[in-house]
Amino acid sequence: MTDLVVRIGTRSSELALRQARQVAAALAERGVASELVEYTTIGDRILDRPLNAIGEKGLFTAELEADLITGRTDCAVHSLKDLPTADPEGLTIVALLEREDPRDALVVGPNTTARTLLELPKGAKVGTSSLRRRAQLRALRPDFDVRELRGNVGTRLRKIDAGEVDAALLAAAGLRRLGLGDRIVAFMDPPDWISAPGQGAIAVQARANDERMTAILATLDHAHTRAAVTAERALLAALEGGCQVPIGACTTYEAKYGPMLHGIIASIDGVSVVRGGLPINADDPASSGRELARQLHAAGGAGILEELREELAEAAAAKAAEKAAAQGAS
Ligand SMILES: NCc1[nH]cc(CCC(=O)O)c1CC(=O)O
């Protein structure tokens, strides 16, 4: 064991590197040496299109997972939020580090005096590339001009500072990990505002049959984080949502109820919104996620998702027809 060096796969963005270094530091505390293996993924390279239009699952994760499966690396570190709910064949999440703040945060540009979403002027340009954030923004303020804002956290902040948008919503966890917590002017609090399932949690993935790595990495697992994100992701999985659908889920901790799961399904235009919440069953958090999914589905969520799938299918068909026409012309 003394000559073991754990090879940790990570994306090469600054945020990903910080998260991977956090795992490396936790391993070092336990006397385990490690080294980072960096990847620039398809998701990092394609910056000119909205993420939901690229339409591929695991855009930021596929290459890391492929090398983990073949054994080039021993584990991979991801933002849990970016991982599809189903584990790839042969891989499993062996550790979830103690979660950072799971909330979304408001960041404003230099020409904006507003310090909350509601203080922003009528028709303000607000940036996000997430359908979940877009839908909730539209629900709260139909007058906003919601703009696509892509790129890693640093890029997005530069665009905000350049005045491309007046304000934007980002994950508080990402900003904090980058030492940019002072850019946050307001936190978006649940249950009024629901962030993404798993947001703020760092996942360490390994081969399911690698007993040695599992034994080492399992010591990094944080039980409360695991319970909360298991419930949140079970909700998402039950609704078959990826990053393509405006579904939110997050956990709060209340003196009276303990951990509470909150969920939302919204149409992209924010007109139809279904919300709900229930206490998380400590013995079976996934069952709570499935139960809340069932309730949201029954309360109108089914119709919202059905309409959304039709819209997405139409958009995909239109795109395919456009492509075929272009090929015919050339
Ligand atoms: N969508 C990209 C992404 N994936 C994870 C984080 C933040 C870190 C986390 O949620 O743990 C972010 C940035 C953001 O949404 O602002």
Distance from residue 184's CA to the centre of ligand 1 (Å): 14
Please check the confidence at residue 82 and state whether its pLDDT lies above 80: yes
Residue 168 lies in a domain: yes
Residues 75, 210 within the same domain:
yes
In a domain, 194, yes or no: no
54 pLDDT tier (thresholds 50, 70, 90): very low
Q: How far is the CA of 103 from the centre of ligand 1 (A)?
A: 10
Does residue 193 lie in a domain region?
no
The yes-or-no verdict on residue 165 having pLDDT over 50 is yes
Q: Quick one: 233 and 319 in the same domain?
A: yes
In this structure, the answer to whether residues 274 and 149 fall within a common structural domain is: no
Domain assignment present for residue 115? The answer is: yes
Pocket perturbation via mutation, ligand 1, pick of 104, 155, 199, 233 by most ligand atoms within 8 A of CB: 199
Looking at the fold, whether 116 and 162 belong to one and the same domain comes out as yes
**Beta-carbon contacts of residue 230 (< 8 Å; ≥ 6 apart):** 285, 286, 289
Tell whether 108 and 67 lie within a shared domain: no
If asked whether residues 172 and 51 sit together in one domain, one would say no
From the CA of 170, how far away is ligand 1's center (Å)? 7
Bin 13: left if φ > 0, else alpha if -120 < ψ < 50, else beta.
beta
Q: Give me the sign of the Cα torsion angle 227, 204, 237, 11.
A: positive
Domain count, the chain: 3
Q: What is the mean pLDDT of residues 234-252?
A: 87
| CA atoms in the 13 A half-sphere facing the CB of 110 | 7
Is the pLDDT at 242 greater than 60? The verdict is: no
Residues 82 and 229 in one domain: no
The answer as to whether 129 is a domain residue is yes
Give the nearest ligand 1 atom to 177 CA.
8
Answer left, alpha or beta for residue 21, where phi above 0 means left and psi between -120 and 50 means alpha: alpha
Per-residue confidence at 241, pLDDT binned at 50, 70, 90?
A: low
Nearest CA to ligand 1 atom 2: 82
Work out whether the CA dihedral 134, 157, 96, 244 comes out positive or negative. positive
Find the 15 Cα to ligand 1 centroid distance in Å.
9
What's residue 179's pLDDT?
98
134 vs 172: CA distance, rounded Å: 17
Asked if residue 68 is part of any domain, the answer here is: yes
Distance of CA 148 to the CA centre of its chain: 16
Tell me, yes or no, whether 211 and 277 share the same domain.
no
Mean per-residue pLDDT, 152-175? 97
* 294 CA from centroid of ligand 1 (Å): 27
3-state DSSP call for residue 289? helix
The pLDDT confidence band at residue 32, using thresholds 50, 70 and 90, is: very high
Which ligand 1 atom is nearest residue 198's CA? Answer: 10
Atom of ligand 1 nearest to the CA of 201: 11
Q: Tell me, yes or no, if 269 is annotated catalytic.
A: no
What does the radius of gyration of the chain's CA atoms come to, in whole angstroms? 20
| Ligand 1 atom 7 nearest Cα | 174
The CA-atom distances, in angstroms, between 93 and each of 88, 193, 214, 291 are 10, 27, 9, 23
* Minimal-distance CA residue to ligand 1 atom 9: 200
What percent of the chain has pLDDT above 70?
93
Amino acid 287: pLDDT: 98
Q: Quick check: 197 pLDDT over 50?
A: yes
- Domain membership of residue 109 (yes or no) is yes
Tell me how far the alpha carbon of residue 251 lies from the centroid of ligand 1, in angstroms.
17
Report the nearest atom of ligand 1 relative to the CA of 200.
Answer: 11
Q: Are residues 77 and 208 in the same domain?
A: yes
Task: Answer whether 128's CB lies under 8 Å from 139's CB.
Answer: no
Assign residue 327 the CATH number of its domain: 3.30.160.40
pLDDT of residue 245: 80
What's the rounded mean pLDDT across residues 128-144? 96
More confident residue, 58 or 143: 143
Query: Is residue 170 located within the same domain as residue 108?
Result: yes
- Strands of the chain, DSSP E: 5-11, 33-39, 75-79, 91-96, 104-108, 125-127, 145-147, 167-171, 186-188, 202-207, 247-254, 258-266, 273-279
Q: Distance (Å, rounded) from C-alpha 278 to C-alpha 91?
A: 30
What average pLDDT score do residues 252-261 get? 94
Does the ipTM exceed 0.90? yes
**Percentages (nearest 5) of helix, strand, coil residues in the chain:** 40, 20, 35
Asked whether the predicted pLDDT for residue 89 surpasses 80, the reply is yes
- Protein residues with CB under 6 Å of any ligand 1 atom: 79, 81-82, 153, 170-171, 173-174, 199-200
- Expressed as residue numbers, the domain containing 152 is 104-188
3-state secondary structure at position 250: strand
Measured distance CA(24)–CA(30) in Å, rounded: 10
Pocket test for ligand 1, best of 44, 81, 152 (most atoms within 8 A of CB): 81
Q: What CATH number corresponds to the domain at position 163?
A: 3.40.190.10
**What mean pLDDT is predicted for residues 19-44?**
94
Confidence of residue 50 (pLDDT cuts 50, 70, 90): low
In whole numbers, what is the pLDDT of the chain averaged over residues? 93
How far is the C-alpha of 182 from the C-alpha of 15, rounded, in Å? 16
The greatest distance separating any two alpha carbons of the chain, rounded to the nearest whole angstrom, comes to 66
Closest residue by Cα to atom 11, ligand 1, is: 200
Q: Are residues 227 and 328 in the same domain?
A: yes
Give the C-alpha separation, 39 to 96, whole Å. 21
The whole-number pLDDT of residue 57 equals: 57
Give the pLDDT confidence score for residue 323 in this predicted structure.
Answer: 87
Q: Which atom of ligand 1 is nearest to the CA of 156?
A: 16
225 or 60, which is more confident: 225
- Whether 162 has a pLDDT exceeding 90, the answer reads yes
Q: What pTM does this model have?
A: 0.93
Same domain, 208 and 91: yes
Q: What is the pLDDT of residue 123?
A: 98
State the pLDDT at residue 312. Answer: 84
Query: Is 195 among the domain residues?
Result: no
The 10s digit of each residue's pLDDT in 93-128 is 999 999 999 999 999 999 999 999 999 999 999 999
Which of the following is catalytic: 82, 104, 166, 210? Answer: 82
